[in-house]
Amino acid sequence: MSNVAGIPVRTLAFLALAVAAMALPLPGSAQPAKWVSAYYAGWCQGNQIKPEEIDYTAVTHILHFALVISPDGTFTGEGNGITPSNAFAAVRAAHAAGKKILISIGGAYSDGSFSGATSRENRAGFVSRLLEFMNKYGYDGIDVDWEPIQSASSYIGFVRELRQKLTASGSGSLLTTAVMTGTDGSVLAEVAPYVDQINLMTYDMAGPGPGWETWHNSALYDGGAVFQSTGRPLPSIDQTVRDKLAGGVPAAKLGIGIDFYGYRWRGGDGTSTGGVSRPGQTWKTAPDVKANVPYFEIMDTYYRSKAGWDSAAQAAFIGIDSPGAAQDEFVSFENERSIRSKTAYVKKMGLGGVIVYELGGGYRRNLPPGYRDLLLQNVRYGLVGGREPPGDEIPPSLLILSPKQGARISGTTLLSAQVADNTAVACVEFRIDGRMAAPVVTVPPYIVSVNSWKYGNGGHTVEIVAYDVFGNSTKAQSGVSVRNEGKMPLVADKVVYDGILHSPFINASWGATVRFDNHDPVRSGSGSAAVDYLARGAFDLLSGTWEAESPLDPVEFDTLRADIYPLAAMRLKIAFYNDSATEVSLRGGEWNSIAVPLDFARHFSRFYFQSLLDTPAKCYFDNIRFTAANFRSPITR
């Protein structure tokens, strides 16, 4: 550590901090015992969760996210859904509930814009415009999300000036800041006198980079776990908090993050289970990771039993291990148990509270009232108080309506069940001989149709499984006999493109230009689709229209086929908008015929062929179609 006139620089910083604190009035208004500052994203306001649907008893502050900053000190909210009408609506609802609402500024990768906006020539105008916006719409303060903070001096100077202007306005406005976990604690200690809250974004803490291994998105503790490559502790909230406290940040000004989103890891050939399915695994081939998966999507897509629990890390996860396959899955997410651990930690450490990112991600509109925001209710219970959120250990009741035990079935037959639960039914699965026979049904009536020809004549077992919103499940089975005569009726191909683009498919491509009437080269017929890719662009096709999609059933069709002619060798990612994807290598200067199995049971309405090159490329496509394995017996999926 360097010195100035024999005095350590850190000592000088704290002396300056004390002087600044005495020179300025106390920030904003008095804080509650513990805060729950919940982000409400503008893009959720019109569709995912409306202002009046928020349970304001569970929060102390709303952070309306977010104004996008430009380097010249101007900003806009419309790209994030903060229009004038949305701003007024959010403010009106929060105030009607007696809660403070702040306007957030910045967000991910905003450092460059903040640096320009807070430069010597732009800062005064930037601050003035922020206060004008805040006052115009009636917000109670400003939340600064500078990510990451590359220039500590610019950040500190901006926060100091913003506090001075807010105080001078006499409005008692609040000033909060959300920062990435790597932000230096001494920098945060310097801004502490000027802000009401310093919230650590203690999530997005793991990924599949070099030297990594599977780990939780937001582990409370490292539990003694270390990187196998380096021996360093795996990241945790506890270590992050202790670093900031050691840097001089007052505990009462410090909050941690609770993420209503999770991470889905898939693949990762070479783990102990074939693919990633639990924390602390290394791999030979890096897994694919999908970040920021909303809690409601995790529950609707992956949650089929009680979640796994890492007691050392105090973190929840879902592990999906498919024996003999590398396409396993590891889903890191928050649940009621992990939230209660975090809120207890806030109290134990004497911290100020939490931020929740964000309300829309945790809202399950497809459930009955009272069960739509269970994550938020557990945050409330841990920090604000009030009634305990509902819990449940009682499984659903389930009765198979058809087919009954011993039934003889043929042709297309219906599988149906009567399901009820003391809380709420989450979904119902239909299986034949242990394999999914149809996509999961999430709303009544619980009924699907299946083509019995796919299973071959003879005895089979129908199994129906019902789940409630707490992961309790009930199974019921019936033995049936398939009796079909003659030959299985052919299932006609569903043609997407064979010289023309067939209805109901439309072009939804991004980062690529598509000509469907191209005449060279031509595989069959009169034309092929010419696709000019930009770097990482995609030839994307939607079944139906934007207002009325027409989903495809992967039980009816089991394979996507296409003929592809790239001018040079390349790799394509073929992905479906149900979280399933695969990659193929193509030879250049010739036609390649590909067949992609639809080895999943979730409907989809869109799919795409994405270039994995970082440079432009050109491909021709023909004979894109979905096919069924007619006469397949028994089903192999």
Nearest to 464 by CA among 554, 396, 553: 396
Give Dmax over CA atoms of the chain in angstroms. 99
Nearest to 440 by CA among 403, 467, 420: 467
The pLDDT, as a whole number, for residue 515 is: 95
pTM reported for the whole predicted model: 0.77
Contacts of 85 (CB under 8 A, 6+ apart): none
- We find that the CATH architecture of domain 397-482 is Sandwich (2.60)
Nearest to 442 by CA among 603, 290, 322, 307: 603
Confidence of residue 417 (pLDDT cuts 50, 70, 90): very high
Instruction: Read off the DSSP letter of residue 549.
Output: B
In tens, the pLDDT along 461-517 reads 999 999 988 889 999 999 999 999 988 777 789 999 999 999 999 999 999 999 998
Supply the CATH classification number for the domain 3-261+334-361. 3.20.20.80
CA terminus-to-terminus distance, the chain: 64
In tens, the pLDDT along 84-137 reads 999 999 999 999 999 999 999 999 999 999 999 999 999 999 999 999 999 999
The pLDDT, as a whole number, for residue 325 is: 65
The three-state secondary structure class of 12 is: helix
Residue in this structure with the two tokens 């001989």, named with its chain if needed: 433
Nearest to 306 by CA among 317, 296, 314: 317
**Number of helices followed by number of strands (H, E) in the chain:** 10, 34
**Tokens (6 digits) for 31:** 């804080």
Q: In angstroms, rounded to a whole number, what is the distance separating the alpha carbons of residues 204 and 21?
A: 33
CATH topology of domain 494-627: Jelly Rolls (2.60.120)
Over range 305-334, report the average pLDDT. Answer: 88
Are the beta carbons of 104 and 143 closer than 8 angstroms? Answer: yes
The number of beta carbons lying within 10 Å of the beta carbon of residue 487 is 9
Confidence of residue 26 (pLDDT cuts 50, 70, 90): very low
- Residue spans of the domains in the chain: they are 3-261+334-361, 397-482, 494-627
**Tokens (6 digits) for 458:** 């003879």
